[in-house]
Amino acid sequence: MDLVPVIRELLFSHDCVILPGFGGFIGNYAPAHCDKTTNTFHPPAKLISFNRNLSHNDGLVTGTVSAKTGLGYSDARNLVGEFVDEVKKKLEKGEKVVFEQIGSFTTNSEGNYVFEPDRELNFNLQAYGLASFTFAPLAGISQSGKIKSDEADVIKIRRLRKYLWRAAVIIPLAGALVAIPLTTDIFRTGTQNTSLYPVTAVTETAKPKSETANENKIPEAALNTGTSDVNRITDAGRLHATDETPSPATECYYVIAGSFRLRENADVLAGALKVEGFDPVVIDGPNGFFRVSAKRCSSLDEAVKVKNTLTARYPGTWVKKTI
């Protein structure tokens, strides 16, 4: 099966598409730009590069092939492996391998893969329908005169800003100098004008002791009621705490057959396990991954037996203990 159309389709919606055992295609976003030498305007694009070190199986290509062909996950993985082996054999013979509308591969003298991207197809969906075009500069327009007028406008704006800043500082200061003398006792009669900080004597009328005592007194009935309520709540809480008995924790073991970043890939593997007679469950794992459990076991021995059964078809199967 030719997997090039599958990879090309995935590059429109993913920034990284890994072909297991071969390498990863990475989409790099480039903004719109103008080539002044040719007067050509280019729309924003997603340029494709290749990284040979990204060769692990993240389940994206395998899950897509399984969904399109209706094959099980293991059969789809074997189909992807056959395609990769065929590409590698051609490169080892020195042949040029072309991934249509993606790029071409060759091998250099050191045995490394050399990828040459095909820039005719733009994988950026936001630039759909936009194409590069050439536009000649307009004739008969003097740019020097426009630049001089723009500079004059900038100078005027800077001067206006400078005046506004000065006014913003001077006006509040002048208002404060006028308001301060009016709010003091300097111009009032009956005060000492020799002091800039006049002090006015203020006499307070003391409250009767009986009134002060009544304000600070707490009714005895309210005090007793509050104390009994507190004791009642405390006793109830203590009785509730002593009556509770924690239930013993139960252990279970999940046989994990795969872990995926995309939920649809996890669902594909779960469907394949269900066809094989297992009772799969998709579990939320750390870092946003989805783990596919083939079976939930009550003992470790049972989980190990199930793991040994699955290891031949699903390498890397492991057991997760939960309480």
Give residue 6's pLDDT. Answer: 93
Tracing tokens 């091998």 back to the chain, one arrives at 107
158: confidence class by pLDDT, cuts 50, 70, 90? confident
Tracing tokens 């429109």 back to the chain, one arrives at 12
CB-based contact 27:80 (threshold 8 Å): no
Domains and CATH numbers, the chain: 4-134 (4.10.520.10), 252-322 (3.30.70.1070)
* pLDDT surpasses 80 at 215: no
CB-based contact 25:64 (threshold 8 Å): no
Q: What does the pLDDT average to over 55-59?
A: 91
Q: What does the pLDDT average to over 231-260?
A: 58
Tell me: the pLDDT tens digits for 66-120? Answer: 999 999 999 999 999 999 999 999 999 999 999 999 999 999 988 899 999 988 8
Instruction: Record the tokens describing residue 113, joined without a space.
Output: 């893969």
Tell me: the pLDDT tens digits for 27-42? Answer: 999 899 898 888 898 8
Task: Say which residues have a Cβ less than 8 Å from residue 145's Cβ, sequence separation at least 6.
Answer: none
Give residue 36's pLDDT. Answer: 85
185: confidence class by pLDDT, cuts 50, 70, 90? low
Average pLDDT score, the chain: 78
**What end-to-end distance do the CA atoms of the chain give, in Å?**
45
Percent of the chain beyond pLDDT 90?
Answer: 43
Tell me: the pLDDT tens digits for 292-321? Answer: 999 999 999 999 999 998 998 898 899 988
Q: What does the pLDDT average to over 169-189?
A: 72
CA atoms within 13 A on the CB side of 1: 18
230: confidence class by pLDDT, cuts 50, 70, 90? very low
Give residue 209's pLDDT. Answer: 40
Give residue 288's pLDDT. Answer: 86
202: confidence class by pLDDT, cuts 50, 70, 90? very low
* pLDDT surpasses 50 at 196: no
Instruction: Record the tokens describing residue 149, joined without a space.
Output: 């007028």
CB-based contact 107:91 (threshold 8 Å): yes
* pLDDT surpasses 60 at 213: no
Buried b (16+ CB within 10 A) or exposed e, 30-62: eeeeeeeeeeeebbebbebebeeebeebbbbbb
Instruction: Record the tokens describing residue 5, joined without a space.
Output: 């159309």
Distance separating alpha carbons of residues 320 and 308, to the nearest angstrom: 14
Sheet with strand 318-322: strands edge to edge: 281-284, 290-297, 252-260, 318-322
Quick check: helix, strand or coil at residue 212? helix
* pLDDT surpasses 70 at 186: no
Give residue 256's pLDDT. Answer: 93
Give residue 5's pLDDT. Answer: 93
DSSP bridge pairs for 23:
19
